[in-house]
Chains A and B, each alone.
Chain A
Amino acid sequence: NAGVTQTPKFRVLKTGQSMTLLCAQDMNHEYMYWYRQDPGMGLRLIHYSVGEGTTAKGEVPDGYNVSRLKKQNFLLGLESAAPSQTSVYFCASSSIQGSFYEQYFGPGTRLTVT
């Protein structure tokens, strides 16, 4: 099992450029999440998904869009990147079975917007 993987690991964008971050999980988890981690602020939820074809806003959704076309994949898009979106982005997944609230995290994507 690879667990949760994220692509790419690092990216530098210029203001106004767009990009998509890919998250994939091979644990057949129903729920998936995108967080951003900023110094001194912990992790903040951007968007989440409770199943294929469904998404919902988290705490800081502005400037981001997401899609969950397949159960195993959760994409995070930045349509017009801004310097305020410089951050480390983590994807996570969790299962409806067992320890429902325990989340499994990916390795993160470090994004710099100049």
Chain B
Amino acid sequence: AQSVSQHNHHVILSEAASLELGCNYSYGGTVNLFWYVQYPGQHLQLLLKYFSGDPLVKGIKGFEAEFIKSKFSFNLRKPSVQWSDTAEYFCAVDTGGFKTIFGAGTRLFVKA
């Protein structure tokens, strides 16, 4: 069955630290990839997406992600986190046919 794995369920960082959140998926065909963010008390919103082309995609608020097809990975990165990045981050994979599969989420807490 298709699945999305997020390696860390909880991450705690200090401000200015670098962030990398892992995401791997299991599907051999063409995929569209997303990272969504859910700030405390708010709804999910799109952080960035990959459909095709340059595998390094840039999103809002300084986030970027790299699609590595051979590793079935789409890791999220940010060079220097801020307290305001405290949120839950979801990796999502769309395999077509209205099947967007979400990972379990990673809760990030940034210490001021």
Specify the main secondary structure of chain B where it touches its partner. strand
Query: Chain B residues with Cβ under 8 A from A102's Cβ?
Result: 34, 46, 49
CA distance in complex: A23, B42 (Å): 16
In the complex formed, the residue of A with least CB distance to B93 is A101
Query: Chain B residues with Cβ under 8 A from A35's Cβ?
Result: 102
Instruction: Check A105/B98 contact, CB under 8 A, given A42-B105, A43-B90.
Output: no
Query: Chain B residues with Cβ under 8 A from A99's Cβ?
Result: 49, 51
The proximity string for B residues 87-106 relative to A, scoring 1 for CB distances below 8 Å and 0 otherwise, is 00010101000111011110
Instruction: Check A42/B90 contact, CB under 8 A, given A103-B100, A105-B43.
Output: yes
The answer to whether B42 and A107 have CB atoms under 8 Å apart is: yes
Count of A residues near B, CB < 8 Å?
Answer: 23
Q: Say if the beta carbon of A60 comes within 8 Å of chain B.
A: no
Query: Chain A residues with Cβ under 8 A from B36's Cβ?
Result: 105
CA distance in complex: A43, B89 (Å): 12
Query: Chain A residues with Cβ under 8 A from B32's Cβ?
Result: 101
Specify the main secondary structure of chain A where it touches its partner. strand
Contact residue range for chain B?
Answer: 20 to 34
Q: Say if the beta carbon of B56 comes within 8 Å of chain A.
A: no
Q: Say if the beta carbon of B45 comes within 8 Å of chain A.
A: yes
Rounded to whole Å, the gap between the CB of A49 and the closest CB of chain B is 9
The proximity string for A residues 41-85 relative to B, scoring 1 for CB distances below 8 Å and 0 otherwise, is 111110010100000100000000000000000000000000000
CA distance in complex: A50, B94 (Å): 16
Rounded to whole Å, the gap between the CB of A54 and the closest CB of chain B is 11
Q: Say if the beta carbon of B69 comes within 8 Å of chain A.
A: no
In the complex formed, the residue of B with least CB distance to A50 is B98
Scan residues 1-55 of chain B and give those whose CB is less than 8 A from a CB of chain A.
4, 9, 32, 34, 36, 42-46, 49, 51
Give the 4 A-B CB pairs with smallest separation, nearest first. Answer: A42-B102, A43-B102, A105-B44, A101-B94
Would you mind naming 15 contact pairs between A and B with Cβ atoms under 8 Å apart?
A35-B102, A40-B104, A42-B102, A43-B44, A45-B99, A45-B100, A56-B98, A90-B43, A90-B44, A99-B49, A101-B32, A101-B94, A105-B44, A106-B43, A108-B43
